[in-house]
Amino acid sequence: MFRSRVWHRLATGLLALSCWAVGTERAMAQQADEQSVKAGFIYNFIRFTQWVGVPDSENKRLLICATSDKPLSGQLGRLSGRTVGSRAIEVRNNVGTGDWSGCDVLFVAQSEADRLDSYLRSLGNAPVLTVGDFAGFTKAGGMIGLRMQDNRVKFDVNLTSAQRANLQLNSQMLKLAGEVLK
């Protein structure tokens, strides 16, 4: 009897542990899928953005700078080596305010939301495409904000901010945006 109780408790514990592990694994896989999709969106944002007055031949690389090394920043690393036009993508993570020279795209992670205002002030009107991964990004002055809605990745655009930085966003991309601030 004692042995069967111990065996029963052990089996129940192992079952609970395996269910927890499967649930955790699924959640991690779902988060990784979401982050991969968002990285794909960022790649396409780059493809459909024109840096006015900056010829492709002037710079052979396209530098994506990320303010942290959170999950999406890690997925951005997979874009390294891919090309947009004649420019090869490079990615730098954990880029601080003083390290933005040469950045063509600045990705601001949700963990950096409280610093967004200082980041945008620091950039001024530099031709840097700003992309964020949190609510209110475009209303605060960022150019393209990613968000989840009904388990789908959606995005909003602040066209005024993009134009101020001399960036031209493709009209087809603007049609796909959930909200376009003008």
pLDDT digits (tens, 9 = 90+) for 58-96: 678 999 999 987 767 678 889 999 999 889 999 998 887
pLDDT band at residue 29, thresholds of 50, 70 and 90? very low
Question: Domain map of the chain by residue range?
Answer: 27-177
pLDDT computed for residue 96 by the predictor = 77
Distance between CA atoms of residues 129 and 103, nearest Å: 9
Residue written as tokens 């393209």?
Answer: 144
* 166 secondary structure, DSSP code: T
The more confident residue out of 74 and 128 is 128
Pick from 131, 114, 115: nearest CA to 165: 131
pLDDT band at 55 (very low <50, low <70, confident <90, very high): low
Cβ-defined contacts of 155-158 (< 8 Å, 24+): 155/41, 155/45, 156/180, 156/181, 157/181
d(CA 152, CA 38): 10
Residue 49 has pLDDT above 80, yes or no: yes
Q: What is the CATH number of domain 27-177?
A: 3.40.50
> What would the mean pLDDT of 105-109 be, rounded to a whole number?
94
Q: How much is the pLDDT for 58?
A: 62
Q: Is 80 exceeded by the pLDDT of residue 52?
A: yes
Strand 180-181 vs strand 152-158: parallel, antiparallel, or unpaired?
Answer: parallel
Q: Look at residue 128 in the predicted model and tell me its pLDDT.
A: 96
* pLDDT tens digits for range 8-27: 444 444 334 343 333 434 44
What mean pLDDT is predicted for residues 152-174? 97
Residue with the two structure tokens 């065996």: 7
Q: Judging by DSSP bridges, how do beta strands 87-92 and 61-66 pair with one another? A: parallel
CA Rg value for the chain: 21
Task: Give residue 31's pLDDT band: very low, low, confident or very high (50, 70, 90).
Answer: low
Residue 124 clears pLDDT 70, i.e. is over it: yes
How many angstroms separate the CA atoms of 73 and 59, rounded? 23
Residue 95: φ, ψ to 5°: -85, 125
pLDDT digits over 129-150, tens only?
999 999 999 999 999 999 999 9
Tokens of 122: 């620091």
Calculate what percentage of the chain has a pLDDT beyond 90.
61
